[in-house]
Each structure stands twice: as C-alpha cells, then as structure tokens.
C-alpha cells in the first residue's frame, strides 16, 4: 500500500491526467510534475523512488508514503508530494534514541537555534512531544542556553531567545499549561538577563553577532575580532528580541499578568525604536546587517536575508515597504543567499551560500505580503536542491548551486523543516494564534490541481484541508461544507474530525520595482592599512579603485590612489579607516588605523595594580618569546606580555578584583581597553569571560573578554569610552553575580595591562 500511492500517481501522469506546462521554469531550471532538470542534471521519480544523476553521481532513494499518524500531502504533483514524504522520513531519522532532535546526519545533537528555528517553521505541529522534550534540553538554571559561538558564546552570540518563539507555539499545541507557564518563566528570566548583560540603553539595542551567522570570517571582515563582534548590534538578533518581548507580553496576558504584559510591550517598543533609528537604511529600504560599535560607530548596510525576513514575519514591516525589502536585490538562480553582497576571497558556507531554512523564512515572509513570485522562487529552488541532492542538505553554493561548501550535512533538521513549513504555513496557510488557526494560503499560479493536507492533528481535532485555486487572496472558507466569514479562525477548542476548504482567487497582483543589484555582487574590505614615512595613510588595493577615507567617523574625502594625506591632532588620538566604493554597494568598514601621539596614550601595568585573586607571573609562553616594554604607538608582541609580568588566573572567584590607579591625568574622554588572555577557539566554545567596570567609584558597564584564540597570544578588549577627571583616577574590574558564565561559573583570565587613549 505504501508503494501504491506513488506508483498510481506515475501511471496517471503517464496518460496525461496531470500533464501540462512546467510548474517552474528559469534559464537553467525546469520543474515538472515528475522531474527536476538543470542543464545536464536531472532528478526524477521511478515508482516509489527518487532518482538523481546530479554531478555524475547516481542516487536512488526509496521513499515510503507518510504513516497514518502524520499529516499527508496530496497536491496532484508527485514530485512535490514525494519530497514532503522524504522530509517527514528525514525528520524521523533526526530523532535520537532519547527522543530529542539532532541537527542532521553530521551532528549528534541539535542546538538552541537549530531546533528553535526548525520547530517554529513546522515541527511544533506534527512532532509536538519531541519538540517539547528537545526544547527542555536547552534550559539551564531557568534560562535559555546560548549555543557555542564566536569568542566563547554568550554574550558574543546572543540569539538564544529564538527558543522562546518556538517554545511558545509548541506550548500552544501541547495542551499542557504547565509547559506554557515554564516557557513564560524561562523566557522572562532570559530576557531580563539580556537587559543587564547586552542591552545598550542609549541605542535601545542588544549587542551580539548576527543570528545563526556565527562563523566569524564568513560574514564579518577579517579585522573584526570576537571582542568587536560582541560589541556590535545586528538587525537579526534585535528583531528576534523584539519578537520575544511581544511573545512574552501575549503570554503574560493569557496568564493574567497584565502589569507584566504592559512592561514587556514597552521593552519591545524600545527595541523597535532602536532598530528604526540605528539599523534601518532609508536609502536602501531594509534593515542594515549590523552596526559596528565603537568610539565612532559605523553601520554596515549589507543585507541579512534571515533578519529582514523575520522583520516581516514578526510585524515590523508590511505592505509596500516589505515587498520592496524582499526585492531590493535580485535572487540567485538557486535561491537567495543568506548574506549580500558576498565577501571577497571567502569560501562558501555563509558567504556565497544558500541555506534552505533561510529560504523557508524568506518564502513565508513573501507569503505574508502576497508576493507570489518570491514565494515561488524560494519554494521551487528548495525542491530543486532536495530532489537533485536526494536529501535536504544544510546549505549549497549560491553562485553554482553545488553542495561542496566548507561544511554540509544530509537531512539537516531546519532545512527539512523549511520545506514542511512552506507546505503547512505557505500552501495551506496555517497560522497559529491563541484563539486558533487563521488561514492565509499562498499557492503558486502554476498550480492547477487541488492542494490537500489530510490528518492534520490540532489539539482535540483532526483537520482535512483542501485548498482550491491559486494565488494569495482568500475568496471563501468552508467548514464541513458550511460557508464561514473570510476572517474565520478555526477554534483551538474544536473537537473531532472536520473538513476545511479554502477557495483562492487567482487575481493576486503585487506591484514591485525591479531589483537594484544582484545578490551575487561581491565587495572587498581594506584589511591592511597604516602610515607611510611621511605620516600619511597607506593601504593595499588597486590603484584604479575608488576609496573613501574616514577620520573619527567623518568622511574626509575620496581618492583613486592608495595613499591619503592627513593632518592629525598632536594632542589627541584619531581613528582612520578606508572603504572601497563599488557600484553603489554598501561600504564595509576597513581595519581601523589609530594615530597615537605619545602624550595621548597611557599604559597601566597589571603587576603594579592592586589585585585580589590570581597571582603575579613572569612565565613566557612560548619560552622563546621575550618580554617587551611598549612605548605609545609601538606594536605589542602578540606572544609576549608587556613589562615585567602579568596577573595569571585572575577572576575565578566572586571576590576577585583588580584596581588600576592612574595619576597626573588630563581631563577628557578616553578609550579604555584591557590586554588579556582567555585561551579558547575563536569560533566556538562557551567561556567568554565577563567583568564589571567601575571608574572613580561609578559603575560603567560589563566588559567582555572573549576567547583569544591561540593560548600563547594576547588580545585587547573592544574599546570603551570613559570620562576621566584631572589628576588621579581609579579604574576597577571585578566580579559580581552578573559576571558568571551561562554555565554559572567565573571564567579565569590573564591580565597584562590597561590602555587609555585620549580622544576628546
């Protein structure tokens, strides 16, 4: 019986019952009822098997019909239906013996963001118990665990609140008020901690790297070290914080906590305000990828595909504004890349890459604003990659469509969930609310057959959906043959088996302007710059390229050469950077170059400070390195401490502190940074250290000490602007209850010195 379904579909097709125009066609790709063809490559169906000859590799994969305890899709187009059956089968393969989701064939667990994005897309509905159990594994001490990430995870990576959005919808479908309450408390505890650790009151934004884009050099210029990324503000991470506060407010209202609901809505409004003021680009009409914070902040107006899609799904953008945002860049042949433009000389993974799960979010954002063309492009290119690869891969190369990236996995959970989500939330239009299901189907105009989704379990009911017609405008809704209002919501309290029919109008039309640039565009970053013998700026690049030169955040001018004459202050430090101008694309800030007159730089050695915890050491790593004593403007030796020694193993206990006393100071604004060691890998781990900063008895903020990479190397924290008085100043770093790691420990680090640079 399981084979018969697909066999019959093939027989019907062979006699022309479903035969017609291709479902999707582009310059290189044709998708029909039974096949996917791309140049000389082809995927096709034979009985109950999916076959492919992609890249000369023959694949034949048997796909069984979906079991009777799960929803079954029938669109009249066997390729679409078989890939849905494959997706369901691959989800089941991604559940381990403990009953938890794994991230894919290459991974033995699923992390917070993987499972959360996947669960929100579709898994909360059909795999509810596994979703509940899996989400619970990402709770520690009543808060959401942040995944490992750049510089030792939290707070460098700070997108963990996506868990709340997934857990909320899972709780709506779990019929378990205790879990609902647990989700509320965990979300509340986490968001309140983020307010203390990563929220910036001035900008009304949360610090941390771009959500899911946690492989540093893939999306950030090479010069940005983990400390710089930790200080930055990304649009995607802030958009999910906005949505998390709004979700928490809805839950508070349901739980009768009305005063808390008002407070959470206020926090959401603040983030929205910060996004509009700091990250929205009026010129480009979308949220810039991130703001590089520092003494002189710079907004990078690159395109974060996931972040902008989420802004539409979570109600920050709608209408023409949203449609324009989706179509500012022309999508590639194989789907829209996760970042745009691409960075020069970076191998595909996030850079020059399409991720099916992001395609899922982009498609659903397009569905929400009835952009059928964008929805169809993402839907059918996901079909293309799944059919040709014979599995739902983690990612693919945006420029070639190939599957050879730096890391790629079969049956990747969130890629699978994206396809199922395009079916549930897209074709069938299922949207969950506290009151019930609101229907808003989007069916490509090439569809001529009826879309059916049967056996969809919703609370105490079983729903059989039938979507007639195509387009995105609902013409009529019927429940068991009875016509319902167009704004009908299927009640959450409905019981028994019911038939739901939605009739669509084919008249959907969306006005949109042509894309201004291609998502394939590439930019270069000026990574190396300095001063020549005349004291002017110099950098590497091409003589015939045009460069913009900035000083202290202000544009000085443009040049076609590789040098620029400057006139810096003799009493203040100045920051310069150079960016290449190319075809109107965003300029990505180059490596900052500091001009530092001797009178404007002060070093305070740790061994001369008053410290509690740790111990003085003069042991070198490696032994062949020699200590140096830095003068202002002189480069540090990365393999050596400065001066006579350093404070080793400091900060492992609550009472640990170190206080620098700096005398004979001139009043003004100074950039403060600390030279330290926190051995650990740049791109992973969970031991970013935190310390409180106090200046002259006034608490300033928390300082981040991310992993410094090579255990023998020293690193500098990101610069923090502080105001110092004339004469003697006290600068103190210390532990508090707020500076524990997310695993509830104090991370010890080594401290070499404190540096102060006068800027105003």
DSSP 63-102: -PPPPTTS-EEE-S-HHHHHHHHHHHHHHHHTB-TTS-B-
- Record the tokens describing residue 101, joined without a space: 């989701």
Q: 586-618, pLDDT tens digit by residue?
A: 999 999 999 999 999 999 999 999 999 999 999
- Record the tokens describing residue 513, joined without a space: 């302007």
Instruction: Name the 3-class secondary structure at 709.
Output: strand
**pLDDT for residue 630:** 53
Do 106-317 and 598-758 show the same overall fold?
no
**pLDDT for residue 623:** 66
Q: What is the enclosing helix (H) or strand (E) of 407? A: none
Spatial separation of the C-alpha atoms in residues 221 and 224, rounded to whole Å: 6
Report residues of the chain scoring pLDDT below 70. Answer: 1-20, 622-635
- What pTM was computed for the model? 0.95
Which of 695, 724, 465, 93 lies closest to 703, judged by CA?
695
Spatial separation of the C-alpha atoms in residues 99 and 216, rounded to whole Å: 32
Instruction: Name the 3-class secondary structure at 435.
Output: coil
Spatial separation of the C-alpha atoms in residues 597 and 531, rounded to whole Å: 13
- Cβ-contact 205, 235 below 8 angstroms: no
Instruction: Name the 3-class secondary structure at 666.
Output: coil
- Cβ-contact 311, 305 below 8 angstroms: no
Q: Burial, 576: exposed, middle or buried (Cβ in 10 Å; 0-12, 13-18, 19+)?
A: buried
Instruction: Give the pairing of strands 601-605 and 646-650.
Output: unpaired
**pLDDT for residue 634:** 53
- Cβ-contact 461, 498 below 8 angstroms: yes
Spatial separation of the C-alpha atoms in residues 167 and 170, rounded to whole Å: 5
The beta strands (E) that lie in 277-335 are given as 280-281, 286-292, 298-304, 329-330
**pLDDT for residue 492:** 96
Q: Burial, 491: exposed, middle or buried (Cβ in 10 Å; 0-12, 13-18, 19+)?
A: middle
Q: Other CB atoms closer than 10 Å to residue 46's CB: what's the count?
A: 13
- Cβ-contact 628, 637 below 8 angstroms: yes
- Give me the residues paired with residue 692 across strands: 702, 734
DSSP state of 650: E
Spatial separation of the C-alpha atoms in residues 305 and 258, rounded to whole Å: 35
Write down the number of H helices and E strands in the chain. Answer: 16, 49
Burial profile 578-599: b = 16 or more Cβ within 10 angstroms, e = fewer: bbbeeeebbbbbbbbbebbbee
Q: Where are the domains of the chain?
A: 106-317, 524-595, 598-758
Instruction: Name the 3-class secondary structure at 258.
Output: helix
Spatial separation of the C-alpha atoms in residues 52 and 59, rounded to whole Å: 5
Spatial separation of the C-alpha atoms in residues 640 and 157, rounded to whole Å: 29
Spatial separation of the C-alpha atoms in residues 362 and 357, rounded to whole Å: 9
Spatial separation of the C-alpha atoms in residues 494 and 491, rounded to whole Å: 5
**CA dihedral defined by 451, 454, 457, 461, rounded to 10 degrees?**
100
DSSP state of 121: I
Domain 106-317 has CATH 1.50.10.10: yes
Instruction: Give the pairing of strands 749-758 and 646-650.
Output: antiparallel
DSSP state of 208: B
Distance between first and last Cα of the chain: 78
**pLDDT for residue 217:** 85
CATH tag for 598-758 (out of 2.130.10.10, 2.40.440.10, 3.30.565.10, 2.60.120.260): 2.60.120.260
- Give me the residues paired with residue 526 across strands: none
Fold exhibited by the domain 524-595:
Immunoglobulin-like (2.60.40)
């Amino acid at each position: 019986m399981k084979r018969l379904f697909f066999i019959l579909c093939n027989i019907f097709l062979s006699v022309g019952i479903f035969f017609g125009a291709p479902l999707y066609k582009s310059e290189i790709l044709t998708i029909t009822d039974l096949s996917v063809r791309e140049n000389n490559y082809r995927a096709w169906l034979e009985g109950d098997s999916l076959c492919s000859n992609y890249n000369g590799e023959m694949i034949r994969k048997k796909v069984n019909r979906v079991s009777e305890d799960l929803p079954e899709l029938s669109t009249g187009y066997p390729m679409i239906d078989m890939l849905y059956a494959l997706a369901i089968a691959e989800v089941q393969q991604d559940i381990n013996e403990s009953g938890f989701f794994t991230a894919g064939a290459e991974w033995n667990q699923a992390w917070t963001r993987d499972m959360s994005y996947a669960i929100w897309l579709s898994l909360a509905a059909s795999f509810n118990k596994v979703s509940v159990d899996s989400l619970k594994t990402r709770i520690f001490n009543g808060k959401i665990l942040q995944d490992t990430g750049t510089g030792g995870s939290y707070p460098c990576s700070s997108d963990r609140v996506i868990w709340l959005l997934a857990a909320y919808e899972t709780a709506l479908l779990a019929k378990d008020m205790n879990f609902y309450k647990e989700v509320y408390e965990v979300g509340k505890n986490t968001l309140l901690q983020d307010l203390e650790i990563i929220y910036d009151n001035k900008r009304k934004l949360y610090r941390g790297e771009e959500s899911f884009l946690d492989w540093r050099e893939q999306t950030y210029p090479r010069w940005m070290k983990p400390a710089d990324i930790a200080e930055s503000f990304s649009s995607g991470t802030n958009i999910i914080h906005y949505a998390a506060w709004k979700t928490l407010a809805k839950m508070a209202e349901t739980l009768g906590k009305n005063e808390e609901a008002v407070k959470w809505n206020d926090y959401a409004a603040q983030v929205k305000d910060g996004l509009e003021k700091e990250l929205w680009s009026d010129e480009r009409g979308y949220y810039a990828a991130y703001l590089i914070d520092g003494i002189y902040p710079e907004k990078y107006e690159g395109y974060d595909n996931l972040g902008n899609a989420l802004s539409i799904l979570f109600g920050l953008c709608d209408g023409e504004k949203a449609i324009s945002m989706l179509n500012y860049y022309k999508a590639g042949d194989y789907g829209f890349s996760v970042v745009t433009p691409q960075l020069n000389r970076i191998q595909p993974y996030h850079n020059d890459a399409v991720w099916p799960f992001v395609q899922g979010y982009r498609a659903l954002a397009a569905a929400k604003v009835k952009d059928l063309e964008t929805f169809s492009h993402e839907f059918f290119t996901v079909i293309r990659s799944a059919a040709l690869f014979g599995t739902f891969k983690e990612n693919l190369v945006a420029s070639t469509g190939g599957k050879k990236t730096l890391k790629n996995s079969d049956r990747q959970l969130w890629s699978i969930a994206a396809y199922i989500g395009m079916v549930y939330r897209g074709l069938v239009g299922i949207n969950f609310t506290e009151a019930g299901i609101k229907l808003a189907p989007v069916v490509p105009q090439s569809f001529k057959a009826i879309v059916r989704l049967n056996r969809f379990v919703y609370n105490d009911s079983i729903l059989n959906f039938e979507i007639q017609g195509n387009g995105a405008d609902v013409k009529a809704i019927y429940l068991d043959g009875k016509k319902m209002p167009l704004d009908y919501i299927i009640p959450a309290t409905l019981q028994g088996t019911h038939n739901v029919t939605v009739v669509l109008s084919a008249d959907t039309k969306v006005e949109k302007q042509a894309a201004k640039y291609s998502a394939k565009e590439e930019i270069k970053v000026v990574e190396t710059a300095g001063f020549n013998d005349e004291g002017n700026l110099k950098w590497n690049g091409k003589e015939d390229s045009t460069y913009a030169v900035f000083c202290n955040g202000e544009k000085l001018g443009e040049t076609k050469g590789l040098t620029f004459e400057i006139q810096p202050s003799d009493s203040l430090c100045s920051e310069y950077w150079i960016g290449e101008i190319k075809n109107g694309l965003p300029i990505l800030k180059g490596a900052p170059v500091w001009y530092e007159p001797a009178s404007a730089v002060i070093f305070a050695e740790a061994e001369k400070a008053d410290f509690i915890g740790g111990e003085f050491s003069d042991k070198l790593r490696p032994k062949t390195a020699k200590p140096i004593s830095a003068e202002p403007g002189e480069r540090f030796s990365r393999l050596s401490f400065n001066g006579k020694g350093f404070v080793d193993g400091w900060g492992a206990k609550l009472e640990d502190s170190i206080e620098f006393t700096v005398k004979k100071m001139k009043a003004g604004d100074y950039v403060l940074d600390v030279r330290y060691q926190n051995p650990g890998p740049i791109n992973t781990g969970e031991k970013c250290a935190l310390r409180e900063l106090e200046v002259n008895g006034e608490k300033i903020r928390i300082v981040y000490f991310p992993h410094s990479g090579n255990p023998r190397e020293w690193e500098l924290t990101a610069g923090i602007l502080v105001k110092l008085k004339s004469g003697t100043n006290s600068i103190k770093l210390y532990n508090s209850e707020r500076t524990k790691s997310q695993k509830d420990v104090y991370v010890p680090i080594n401290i070499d010195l404190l540096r102060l640079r006068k800027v105003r």
